[in-house]
Structure 1
């Protein structure tokens, strides 16, 4: 098994490493994510590219943030707030668990700020 610092660049390998770290089988993840076992296997082997919806389902099943999964899949750029998530995802010194924790903490803070001050969020988006 690859160590967190040796994570492959492709989304399939990233999903496989997360699944193995979580110690769940391919079949268990497929069931939790609502996709077929063969389809998930093809994603992990790099034969199929999952849609954003499937990535969201897999992220939820693995209990990782959807933006982190989207960043890894190249569906988000590293502009603005995503720069923080991209930096976390790209840091080779962090383990997968550390990346997940930091991403979840960051998103919790942003969500709390948005709930407490929706006017500020709107004005920042208009810049």
Structure 2
């Protein structure tokens, strides 16, 4: 887990609030937090909980995961996975069984790719004997 980056989060929240054309007080009311507390978050003086970030995200109509990444609570790879899952689950053109099967396939591909990457990393890190020929060099009698 990354360290909290509340300054970056505060700037981002202020930008999103202004884009939504909300005053600090309006956003605080919509998110169910106090005006001074929200002001302190925007100025990078407070570290909000994941619950508060979720409430603010809902009030701004943005992804809570985006705020988690900005706050350092969630890394970007995890956000990408969550967004992929959310898109699949929100698709009205496929039924629930199809959604679950698709997510199972997605998980199996991710596990397979992670295992291949780990094996490649282990192979690259393994010491090679000095007299062993390189894999790319043909053996000569």
Q: Which ranges of structure 1 fall in alignment gaps of 5 or more residues?
A: 1-8, 86-102
Contact 1:13–1:45 (CA under 8 A) maintained in structure 2: yes
CA deviation after TM superposition for structure 1 residue 123, in Å? 4.8
Is residue 120 from structure 1 mapped to residue 102 from structure 2 by the alignment? yes
CA deviation after TM superposition for structure 1 residue 114, in Å? 8.7
**Matches for 1:1-20 after TM superposition, within 5 Å:** 10-20=8-18
CA deviation after TM superposition for structure 1 residue 121, in Å? 1.4
User: Relative to structure 2, which stretch is displaced further, 16-25 or 69-78?
Assistant: 69-78
> How many residues are treated as equivalent by the alignment?
100
Is residue 110 from structure 1 mapped to residue 88 from structure 2 by the alignment? yes
Contact 2:57–2:64 (CA under 8 A) maintained in structure 1: yes
CA deviation after TM superposition for structure 1 residue 65, in Å? 1.1
1:86-112 CA distance string (max 9 Å, x none): xxxxxxxxxxxxxxxxx7xx6763322
Which protein is bigger by CA-based radius of gyration? 2
Distance 2:11 2:45 in 1: 11
Secondary structure of the residue aligned to 1:57 is: helix
Contact 1:12–1:45 (CA under 8 A) maintained in structure 2: yes
What residue number does 1:39 align with? 37
Contact 2:24–2:39 (CA under 8 A) maintained in structure 1: yes
* TM-score for the superposition, normalised by structure 1: 0.65
Q: Which ranges of structure 2 fall in alignment gaps of 5 or more residues?
A: 1-6, 112-141
